[in-house]
């Protein structure tokens, strides 16, 4: 076996010399000499053949190994390229929502409820048979309204002749989801259809930025409030009903004192100096999410109940914001707005008196959670908005305030200012509590919050 490492030129020279010597030592008989020489030559030829075959096999194995190595390195480069390319997202890199089987809408003219059921393409009026107020509440919430305002049955004779495609009929069964209780009908036996009016929200008066933002004007963001603790602005919040404010859990948990004596809510203001000249609204209850984690800021949401309701009548400076529609997600790149009285520079020495506003685009959660940005810190209950290069962002003092997006002339509370690495730092956009993840929790608390304690904490909050 060691001969395989000898060169072919050495092997040939040594073989010839050995053959000649052996022939001279054989019997003098010509026959015997010929046989001996032939045998030796055959042996040498076989050895040479074997060496050639072995060398060829070795070369083939070497070439195959090199090719395999090159191929492997190529795939490794491809993996690295793919990893680097993972930082390059387009606005279309979003999770596609599963199309709804049932959709709802309310006519802005006569408040008639309409339902569209796949695969039928038409919007259908809803027969009044089987209707009740609880269904009205469910549909209003499905559309992003906190509660039902009014409902009634309307005679088909008063509707007109525009609706000729049939009707949606309620099949009321317990444990059925809202999307599963509808069937198509050609007529309504009651002769009536449903008119529905939900709690008005998300509108503002027509009026003429946060870091990199501009100053706002009174009435621009009528749901924006300032939360004062011990006579000082500490956080923002958003009006969702006449008695409930939504904010961040980390705002209220930093000040674990009875809210009735230490918290005030200022609404309908554009400057903090004007707040200090008014009395503010007394807080009677603070409800924070029992799963809030102060290290990761997961579940960063809280609700504040006012002792007396806000007065929306005839006012353009105090109005509620709409909640997001059920299971709806605004696509990445959507331009939304943030507002607040937070620092205009991260050093904390520039706190504005005037409410400031800024526009920020929503960022794909996959991109925000990549190694390019927050590297896995974004949970399903968070969303990101801002610019990769920084420049515009929320900062300290803006916490708990609104991230709102406009949809069909209604402003919706999509996010709550929660946390971020620095303020307006490149590749570290603002992180917001995702409101759609807490719709059921909000409905639960605003309905059944205990009146016994000004602070509500575990184990009362059952749902996440």
Q: Alpha carbon of 162 to those of 153, 165, 166, 313, 450: distances in Å?
A: 18, 9, 11, 35, 48
Best CA proximity match to 170, nearest among 158, 160, 155, 185: 185
Q: Which of 128, 216, 226, 300 is catalytic?
A: 300
In sequence order, the 6+-apart residues with CB closer than 8 A to the CB of 458 are 290
**Catalytic-residue membership of 300:** yes
**Catalytic-residue membership of 250:** yes
Q: Which of 226, 370, 399, 418 is catalytic?
A: 399
As a whole number of angstroms, the longest Cα–Cα distance in the chain is 136
* CB 289 within 8 Å of CB 211: no
Helix, coil or strand: residue 103: strand
Could you tell me which residues are beta bridge partners of residue 195?
112, 152
What is the C-alpha R_g of the chain? 38
Q: Which of 128, 250, 289, 297 is catalytic?
A: 250
* CB 7 within 8 Å of CB 13: no
Best CA proximity match to 397, nearest among 255, 234, 262: 234
Tokens 């040939």 sit on residue: 12
In sequence order, the 6+-apart residues with CB closer than 8 A to the CB of 375 are 369
CA distance 222 to 239: 8
Where in the sequence numbering do the catalytic residues fall? 250, 300, 399
């Amino acid at each position: 076996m060691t001969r395989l490492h000898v060169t072919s030129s050495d092997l040939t020279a040594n073989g010839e010399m050995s053959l000649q010597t052996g022939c001279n030592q054989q019997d003098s008989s010509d026959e015997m000499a010929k046989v001996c020489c032939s045998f030796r030559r055959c042996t040498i030829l076989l050895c040479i053949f074997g060496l050639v075959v072995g060398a060829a096999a070795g070369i083939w194995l070497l070439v195959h190994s090199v090719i395999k190595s090159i191929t492997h390195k190529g795939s490794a480069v491809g993996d690295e390229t793919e990893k680097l390319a993972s930082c390059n997202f387009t606005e279309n890199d979003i999770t596609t929502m599963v199309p709804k089987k049932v959709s709802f809408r309310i006519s802005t003219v006569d408040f008639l409820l309409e339902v569209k059921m796949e695969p039928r393409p038409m919007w259908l009026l809803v027969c009044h048979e089987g209707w009740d107020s609880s269904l009205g509440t469910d549909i209003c919430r499905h559309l992003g309204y906190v509660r039902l305002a009014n409902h009634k049955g309307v005679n088909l004779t008063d509707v007109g002749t525009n609706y000729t495609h049939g009707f949606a009929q309620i099949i009321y069964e317990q444990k059925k989801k809202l999307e599963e209780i509808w069937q198509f009908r050609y007529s309504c036996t009651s002769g009536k259809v449903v008119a529905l009016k939900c709690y008005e929200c998300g509108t503002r008066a027509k009026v003429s930025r946060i870091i990199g933002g501009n100053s706002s004007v009174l009435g621009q963001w009528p749901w924006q409030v300032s939360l004062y603790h011990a006579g000082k602005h500490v956080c923002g919040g958003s009006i969702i009903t006449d008695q409930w404010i939504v904010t961040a859990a980390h705002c209220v948990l930093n000040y674990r004192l009875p809210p009735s004596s230490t918290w005030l809510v200022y609404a309908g203001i554009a400057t903090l100096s004007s707040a200090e000249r008014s009395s503010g609204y007394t807080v009677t209850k603070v409800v924070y999410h029992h799963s809030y984690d102060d290290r990761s800021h997961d579940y960063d949401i809280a609700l504040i109940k006012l002792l007396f309701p806000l007065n929306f009548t005839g006012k353009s400076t105090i109005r509620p914001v709409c909640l997001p529609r059920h299971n709806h997600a605004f696509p990445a790149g959507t331009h939304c707005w943030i507002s607040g009285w937070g620092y205009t520079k991260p050093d904390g020495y520039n706190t504005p008196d005037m409410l400031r506003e800024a526009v920020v685009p929503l960022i794909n959660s996959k991109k925000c959670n990549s190694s390019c940005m927050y590297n896995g810190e974004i949970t399903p209950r968070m969303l990101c908005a801002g610019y990769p290069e920084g420049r515009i962002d929320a900062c300290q003092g803006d916490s708990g305030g609104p991230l709102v997006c406009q949809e069909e002339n209604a402003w919706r509370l999509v996010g709550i200012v929660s946390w971020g690495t620095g303020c307006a730092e490149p590749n570290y956009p603002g992180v917001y509590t995702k409101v759609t993840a807490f719709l059921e929790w909000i409905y639960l608390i605003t309905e059944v919050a205990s009146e016994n304690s000004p602070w509500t904490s575990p184990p009362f909050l059952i749902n996440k």
